[in-house]
A = this chain, B = another copy of it.
Amino acid sequence: MSPTPSFADIADIADLRTACREGRYSGPTGGLLPDHLIANLVVLPRDWAYDFLVYCQRNPKACPLIEILDPGATEPRLSAPGADLRTDLSRYAVYVDGQRRADRLEVRDLWQRDSVAMLIGSSMSFERALARAGVAPSFVWVLRTGIDTVPGGRFHGQLVVTMRCMSPADAVVATQLTSRFVWTHGAPIHIGDPDTIGAKLAAPIWGDPLTRIPDGLVPVFWACGVTPQSAAEAARPPLMITHAPAHGLVTDLLADQYCLP
Query: Is the interface on chain A under 10, 10 to 19, 20 to 34, or 35 or more residues?
Result: 20 to 34
In the assembled complex, which residues on chain B have CB atoms less than 8 Å from the CB atom of A96? none
In the assembled complex, which residues on chain B have CB atoms less than 8 Å from the CB atom of A259? 60-61, 186-187
Q: Contact partner of A182 among B57, B65, B182, CB < 8 A?
A: B182
Q: Contact partner of A68 among B57, B61, B78, B182, CB < 8 A?
A: B57
Given contacts A50-B50, A150-B78, whether A260 and B60 have CB atoms under 8 Å apart is: yes
Closest to A54 in B: B68
In the assembled complex, which residues on chain B have CB atoms less than 8 Å from the CB atom of A258? 179
In the assembled complex, which residues on chain B have CB atoms less than 8 Å from the CB atom of A57? 53, 65, 67-68
In the assembled complex, which residues on chain B have CB atoms less than 8 Å from the CB atom of A46? 50
A180 CA / B152 CA spacing, docked (Å): 26
Residues on A facing B (Cβ under 8 Å): 46, 50, 53-54, 57-58, 60-61, 65, 67-68, 70, 78, 150, 152, 179-180, 182, 186-187, 258-260
